[in-house]
């Protein structure tokens, strides 16, 4: 039942420890092992390791397994170490000796690598699509609320006038930067490692360019040692890109939690999107965004985990790599769930009218008023001192009429330019 079985009995305690929960995790990559196995079989037929009839049988067997996976009936039983041994067993069960030929010219090492990279490619694409959906929602909200002013803060102290348009579009533009990193990661994983075998290639005359095209990889990882060295490097790059997205969302969620509190009172949500208290009937808690904040912080910890597992490992394969996939896969699932609920919830945000004439906001416009004096001929230092003295002696009266005209300011959001920045796939 194991790809490496030589007929020697295995200590059950050791087996349980080394396999861990790989069977459950491998269900995520099962469809991709089928895709890679099909490409590999076609390549074996191309180089005459198997016949065209044997290829037809293998493809039929793989189609049947793919259907089981799609229907949710595919199970990795306890007697199997992982999805790869299960699929080969199923092919052998169906096809006899033909099924045993599928593993020619490959190792479980490159079999795992290619299945993971196919999974990573699709998962990164799904994350990118979810980010684009949220990006569009935020820019639509920015356009809708572009004229509604909002106090801006530095050090959590009242600073300068902002707007809801500026706030929504700021996080939209940060998502663009996150996609730049995501796309860079896609380029890294979009390289075919199949054919590297156990890390040193194969003595069979395999056609690696053929399998690259068959599986839709953008490029081939040429050096077979480099292909194996990508195990861990891929996950570290993915962790960094997911962490960037999570950082943007966690900071946004924190803003929302602050702005919902009574001390700010800038926004609200419908009752059905909030939770209550078991003893305080007035509570409307932003649990969704608090959980988003916490979950995103967990995702940001992934980068450290990937670093520590892989740091200073010598070249070649090591079993440590098995520990990488569980939390990378879990983070993809988690982040896409977060993006979906964030987009669903933020669409229902209730933006409140804020009375900027309230005493606590009276110094929001000091910088604007300094600018007025400079425009009238005063030096900046002279104008700063004048307004500062008015603040100190209690004679300051805010002039709220100043318009910010430069690109990216509250009265010139440049939303169309931000929208154009989102990279085309």
Flag whether 333 is in a domain.
yes
Kindly state whether residues 284 and 371 are assigned to the same domain: no
What's 179's domain CATH number?
1.20.200.10
> What is the distance between the alpha carbons of residues 65 and 84, in angstroms, rounded to a whole number?
12
Flag whether 1 is in a domain.
no
Does the pLDDT value for residue 73 go beyond 90?
A: yes
Write out pLDDT tens, residues 104-114: 999 999 999 99
Where among 351, 374, 408 does a domain terminate? Answer: 351
Write out pLDDT tens, residues 85-137: 899 999 999 999 999 999 999 999 999 999 999 999 999 999 999 999 999 99
Kindly state whether residues 272 and 338 are assigned to the same domain: yes
For the stretch 66-70, contacts whose Cβ atoms lie closer than 8 Å and that sit 24 or more positions apart, written own/partner, are 66/31, 66/34, 69/30, 69/31, 69/34, 70/31
Does the pLDDT value for residue 5 go beyond 70?
A: no
- Tell me how crowded residue 71 is: count the other CB atoms within 10 A of its CB: 8
| Contact (Cβ atoms closer than 8 angstroms) between residue 223 and residue 164 | no
Kindly state whether residues 189 and 317 are assigned to the same domain: yes
Flag whether 42 is in a domain.
yes
pLDDT, position 37: 97
Write out pLDDT tens, residues 249-298: 999 999 999 999 999 999 999 999 888 777 887 878 889 999 999 999 99
Kindly state whether residues 180 and 284 are assigned to the same domain: yes
As a whole number, mean pLDDT of residues 299-317 equals 94
Flag whether 214 is in a domain.
no
Where among 331, 351, 371 does a domain terminate? Answer: 351
pLDDT, position 17: 58
Kindly state whether residues 368 and 405 are assigned to the same domain: yes
As a whole number, mean pLDDT of residues 19-39 equals 88
Kindly state whether residues 239 and 169 are assigned to the same domain: yes
Kindly state whether residues 345 and 376 are assigned to the same domain: no
Write out pLDDT tens, residues 156-207: 999 999 999 999 999 999 999 999 999 999 999 999 999 999 999 999 999 9
Q: What range does the domain containing 35 cover?
A: 12-104
Q: What are phi and psi of 215, to 5 degrees?
A: -95, -5
| Contact (Cβ atoms closer than 8 angstroms) between residue 144 and residue 240 | no
Q: What are phi and psi of 150, to 5 degrees?
A: -145, 135
Answer positive or negative: Cα dihedral of 261, 263, 268, 272. Answer: positive
Kindly state whether residues 59 and 130 are assigned to the same domain: no
Flag whether 318 is in a domain.
yes
Q: End-to-end CA distance of the chain: give it in Å, rounded.
A: 42
The region that residue 138 occupies, defined by phi over 0 for left and psi between -120 and 50 for alpha, beta otherwise, is: alpha
The residues, any chain, with a CB within 8 Å of residue 377's CB and separated by 6 or more, are none
Flag whether 38 is in a domain.
yes
pLDDT, position 4: 43
Kindly state whether residues 312 and 326 are assigned to the same domain: yes
Flag whether 79 is in a domain.
yes
| Contact (Cβ atoms closer than 8 angstroms) between residue 270 and residue 350 | yes
Kindly state whether residues 288 and 410 are assigned to the same domain: no
Flag whether 55 is in a domain.
yes
Does the pLDDT value for residue 415 go beyond 60?
A: yes
Nearest to 293 by CA among 328, 329, 345: 345
Beta-ladder partners of 161: 151
Does the pLDDT value for residue 242 go beyond 90?
A: yes
Kindly state whether residues 301 and 189 are assigned to the same domain: yes
114 token code pair: 């290619």
> What is the distance between the alpha carbons of residues 36 and 42, in angstroms, rounded to a whole number?
10
> What is the distance between the alpha carbons of residues 87 and 243, in angstroms, rounded to a whole number?
33
Domain count, the chain: 3
> What is the distance between the alpha carbons of residues 340 and 196, in angstroms, rounded to a whole number?
38
Find the largest Cα–Cα distance for the chain. Answer: 94
pTM of the model: 0.92
Where among 313, 334, 351 does a domain terminate? Answer: 351
What's 94's domain CATH number?
1.10.275.10
Share of the chain above pLDDT 70, in %: 95
Q: What single DSSP character describes residue 412?
A: B
- Alpha carbon 412 to its chain centroid, in Å, reads 31
The residues, any chain, with a CB within 8 Å of residue 228's CB and separated by 6 or more, are 109, 110, 113, 193, 196, 198, 199, 315, 316, 317
Kindly state whether residues 33 and 125 are assigned to the same domain: no
What is the SS3 assignment for 161?
A: strand
Instruction: Report CA-CA distances (Å) from 212 to 87, 92, 193, 207, 217.
Output: 21, 26, 9, 9, 5
């Amino acid at each position: 039942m194991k790809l490496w079985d030589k007929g020697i009995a295995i200590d059950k305690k050791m087996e349980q420890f080394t396999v861990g929960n790989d069977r459950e995790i491998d269900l995520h990559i099962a469809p991709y092992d089928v895709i890679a196995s099909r490409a590999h079989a076609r390549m074996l037929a191309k180089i005459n390791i198997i016949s065209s009839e044997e290829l037809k049988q293998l493809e039929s067997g793989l189609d049947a397994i793919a259907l089981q996976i799609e229907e949710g009936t595919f199970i990795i039983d306890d007697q199997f170490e992982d999805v790869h041994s299960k699929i080969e067993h199923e092919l052998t069960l169906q096809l006899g000796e033909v099924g045993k030929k599928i593993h020619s010219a490959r190792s479980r090492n490159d079999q795992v690598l290619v299945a993971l990279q196919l999974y990573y490619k699709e998962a990164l694409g799904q994350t990118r699509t979810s980010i684009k959906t949220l990006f569009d929602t935020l820019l639509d909200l920015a356009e809708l609320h572009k004229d509604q002013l909002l106090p801006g803060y530095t050090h959590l102290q009242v600073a300068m006038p902002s707007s809801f348009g500026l706030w929504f579009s700021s996080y939209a533009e940060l998502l663009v930067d996150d996609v730049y990193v995501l796309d860079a990661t896609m380029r890294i994983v979009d390289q075919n490692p199949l054919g590297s075998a156990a890390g040193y290639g194969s003595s069979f005359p395999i056609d690696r360019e053929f399998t690259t095209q068959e599986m839709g990889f953008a490029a081939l990882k040429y050096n077979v040692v480099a292909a194996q060295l990508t195990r861990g490097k891929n996950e570290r790059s993915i962790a960094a890109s997911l962490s960037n997205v999570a950082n943007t969302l966690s900071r946004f969620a924190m803003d929302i939690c602050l702005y919902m509190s009574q001390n700010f009172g800038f926004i609200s949500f419908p009752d059905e999107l909030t939770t209550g208290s078991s003893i305080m009937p007035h509570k409307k808690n932003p649990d969704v965004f608090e959980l988003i904040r916490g979950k995103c912080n967990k995702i940001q910890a992934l980068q450290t985990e990937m670093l520590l597992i892989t740091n200073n490992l010598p070249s070649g394969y090591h079993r440590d790599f098995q520990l990488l996939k569980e939390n990378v896969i879990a983070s993809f699932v988690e982040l896409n769930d977060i993006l979906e609920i964030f987009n669903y919830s933020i669409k229902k945000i209730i933006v409140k009218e804020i009375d900027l004439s309230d005493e606590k906001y009276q110094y929001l416009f000091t910088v604007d008023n300094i600018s007025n004096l400079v425009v009238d001929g005063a030096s900046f230092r002279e104008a700063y001192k004048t307004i500062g003295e008015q603040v100190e002696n209690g004679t300051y009266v805010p002039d709220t009429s100043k318009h910010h005209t430069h690109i990216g300011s509250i009265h010139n959001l440049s939303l169309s330019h931000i929208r154009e920045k989102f990279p085309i796939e």
